A = this chain, B = another copy of it.
Amino acid sequence: MAGNTTLRVIPLGGLGEIGRNMMVLEYGDDIIVVDVGLMFPEEEMLGVDLVIPDFTYLRDNKDKLRAVFLTHGHEDHVGALPYFMREFNAPIYGARLTDGLIRVKLQEHRLLQGAETHVIQPGDVITAGVFEVEFFTVAHSIPDACGLVIRTPLGLVVHTGDFKLDHTPVMDQHTDLIRLAQVGAEGCLLLLADSTYAEQEGFTPSEQLVGTALRNIMVNAEGRMIVATFASLISRVQQVVDAAVFTGRKVFVTGRSMIDNVAMARQLGYLNAPDGVIIGVEEMRNTPAAKLVVVTTGSQGEPTSALTRMANGDHRHITITKGDTVVLSASPIPGNETAVYRNVDNLFRLGAEVLYNRALNTHVHGHASREELKIIQSLLQPEYFVPVHGEYRHLVIHAKLAESVGVPKGNAFVLTDGDVLEIDEESAWTGERVPASYVYVDGLGIGDVDQHILRDRAHLSTDGVVVVIVTVDKQTGKLERAAEVLARGFIDVEEREDLLDRSKQVVADSIKGVDHYAEFGDINVRIRDAVSKFLYDETRRRPMVLTVTVEV
């Protein structure tokens, strides 16, 4: 059975976009899943809360599903698990912090009971059908990040997860180059590697650089210092605590997710702070500014985050004043620039000094740059290569890089979500595709917002809505009285009352001659077209016109 002897590699998310990472590996009757992430909506996904992978293929192959492996605890790798767990039941494997984070998440969704989660140690090998999956450590911007070595009947597959090569990482977790070299020596059939920074020349700097920068800033800041970063970036918080200890400052933590993560990290031993360094709100109030560091969420300008509230002057405990130094220890994620810089501007307005420039080394990111990617290629020398995690251009550029350092020409496959790569003992090819649409989560609804609804929202957002209510005589189809017209988001109605009055006349004119019984649908279309045209001619705007006919 030829169909059973191919290894199938099926990305359901994360290829051709940033976020909702999810990779399916299939061989014969066995399927394993690597990561189940979510994506934050893009600008045109109006009103959408989250985007998750399309589970259709798994739904159709439910009985093959053996296990889920999680590389690390970031939302774009684990955030769709609660939606996944409503439908699928499979053991979930992840390192300790990853497991801790998903248990909190599943608990929130009341899905923890019945979930089978397992904590693994790097080096552990899990058998899942024909697959044997081994975790190895990688350096990334969250503790306990791992990559996977997956033994398949056709050979070894390596999935890097998100990684970089940090030779002096803060929490001492290196990318395990020795294990990768061993795999390379044994022979690597297929490499799947992080493409997020495949555009970036050179090497990504070490986290240590940020520690030094934060310490220098803290030594020189005469007043209070406020550091905003990602709540999951525990190592950054550790560096802030270390610098605070060095400079004799106390640390106050604010922002719900930061408070939760700091508490969890201290409890699990991922964050070390001497007694009395991390203080509560009362003690904070009694600490002189020069002896204080605030660690906060909001580095991405999130509207309800603590930093945004400070910038808007409505944080409960912190009032920004002259003398404060605010450090953004994060780069804006593409799409967040406007919100981030609005905060920066507002903080400046309140008199703070704001440090937000990469040049100051207040942030380094967690992904490998080009020279690091080359090292991974050289260690593994894979026969086939699939770039993962990235927009299309990142994947193309990463594939070219791989071919430039040894992957045989034609063996680097740029896949996007839903593509199926098939590998047998001789060759690899793509052909079939499986469903991999964006699945939108909006409020309680999963997948019930489609392109049609988003188009309507876009239309409404541009020029608003005009509702026309027409009352017609049941018998004659004639207008019973003047139409009612109301508008929202279209034009200042008080200033342009004439416009709505005149559109009533347009309605009347449009159905003149309809003195026989006509279909409501026809009348509605006729009225809608006439009103739309009239309003466009008058204003050059195209509000959505909704017509309702009431028969009396």
The reply to whether A337 and B338 contact each other, CB–CB distance below 8 Å, is no
The reply to whether B489 and A456 contact each other, CB–CB distance below 8 Å, is yes
Q: What residues on B are CB-neighbors of A444 within 8 Å?
A: 538-540
The reply to whether B448 and A496 contact each other, CB–CB distance below 8 Å, is yes
Given contacts A47-B541, A489-B456, contact A391 B345 (CB under 8 A): yes
Say yes or no for A248: interface residue by CB 8 A criterion: no
The reply to whether B448 and A495 contact each other, CB–CB distance below 8 Å, is yes
Given contacts A444-B540, A457-B461, contact A392 B349 (CB under 8 A): yes
Q: Which residue of B lies closest to A463 (CB)?
A: B47
Q: Which residue of B lies closest to A445 (CB)?
A: B539
Docked complex Cα distance between A89 and B489 (Å)? 34
The reply to whether B548 and A443 contact each other, CB–CB distance below 8 Å, is no
Contact of A448 among B201, B344, B458, B491 (CB under 8 A): B491
The reply to whether A341 and B391 contact each other, CB–CB distance below 8 Å, is yes
Q: Which residue of B lies closest to A452 (CB)?
A: B492
C-beta contact mask, A501-512 vs B, less than 8 Å → 1, else 0?
000000000000
A484 to chain B, nearest CB (A): 6
Say yes or no for A424: interface residue by CB 8 A criterion: no
Q: What residues on B are CB-neighbors of A459 within 8 Å?
A: 489
Say yes or no for A270: interface residue by CB 8 A criterion: no
The reply to whether B337 and A334 contact each other, CB–CB distance below 8 Å, is yes
What is the copy number of this chain in the assembly? 2
Given contacts A201-B359, A550-B469, contact A338 B344 (CB under 8 A): no
Q: Which residue of B lies closest to A454 (CB)?
A: B489
Complex interface residues of chain A between 163 and 204 (CB less than 8 A to chain B): 199, 201
Complex interface residues of chain A between 41 and 70 (CB less than 8 A to chain B): 42-43, 46-47
Docked complex Cα distance between A308 and B346 (Å)? 35
The reply to whether A461 and B47 contact each other, CB–CB distance below 8 Å, is yes
Say yes or no for A486: interface residue by CB 8 A criterion: yes
Q: What residues on B are CB-neighbors of A199 within 8 Å?
A: 357
Docked complex Cα distance between A454 and B462 (Å)? 9
Q: What residues on B are CB-neighbors of A544 within 8 Å?
A: 465, 488
Q: What residues on B are CB-neighbors of A465 within 8 Å?
A: 460, 465, 488, 544, 546
The reply to whether A443 and B541 contact each other, CB–CB distance below 8 Å, is yes
A345 to chain B, nearest CB (A): 4
Q: What residues on B are CB-neighbors of A538 within 8 Å?
A: 444
Given contacts A393-B345, A538-B444, contact A548 B464 (CB under 8 A): no
Contact of A492 among B46, B392, B449, B546 (CB under 8 A): B449
A82 to chain B, nearest CB (A): 15
Docked complex Cα distance between A391 and B347 (Å)? 13
Q: What residues on B are CB-neighbors of A450 within 8 Å?
A: 492
Say yes or no for A280: interface residue by CB 8 A criterion: no
C-beta contact mask, A273-308 vs B, less than 8 Å → 1, else 0?
000000000000000000000000000000000000
Docked complex Cα distance between A458 and B489 (Å)? 9
Say yes or no for A354: interface residue by CB 8 A criterion: yes
A200 to chain B, nearest CB (A): 9
The reply to whether A469 and B335 contact each other, CB–CB distance below 8 Å, is no
Docked complex Cα distance between A129 and B113 (Å)? 82
Q: What residues on B are CB-neighbors of A552 within 8 Å?
A: 471, 550, 552
Complex interface residues of chain A between 318 and 377 (CB less than 8 A to chain B): 334-335, 337-338, 341, 344-346, 348-349, 354, 356-357, 359
Docked complex Cα distance between A393 and B349 (Å)? 8
Given contacts A443-B540, A491-B453, A495-B448, contact A335 B337 (CB under 8 A): yes
The reply to whether A488 and B47 contact each other, CB–CB distance below 8 Å, is no
Docked complex Cα distance between A349 and B415 (Å)? 11
The reply to whether A460 and B464 contact each other, CB–CB distance below 8 Å, is yes
A226 to chain B, nearest CB (A): 16
Q: Which residue of B lies closest to A349 (CB)?
A: B392
The reply to whether B344 and A393 contact each other, CB–CB distance below 8 Å, is yes
Say yes or no for A467: interface residue by CB 8 A criterion: yes
CB<8 Å pairs between A and B, sample of 25: A43-B43, A46-B489, A47-B462, A47-B464, A334-B337, A335-B338, A345-B392, A443-B541, A444-B538, A448-B492, A448-B496, A450-B492, A457-B460, A457-B461, A457-B463, A459-B489, A460-B460, A460-B464, A460-B465, A460-B488, A465-B488, A484-B550, A486-B548, A548-B548, A552-B552
Top-9 shortest CB links A-B: A443-B540, A461-B461, A456-B489, A460-B460, A345-B392, A47-B462, A457-B489, A443-B541, A46-B461
Q: A47-B462, A443-B541 are in contact. List 8 more A-B contacts (CB 8 A).
A: A341-B393, A448-B492, A456-B489, A457-B462, A465-B544, A467-B467, A488-B544, A550-B550
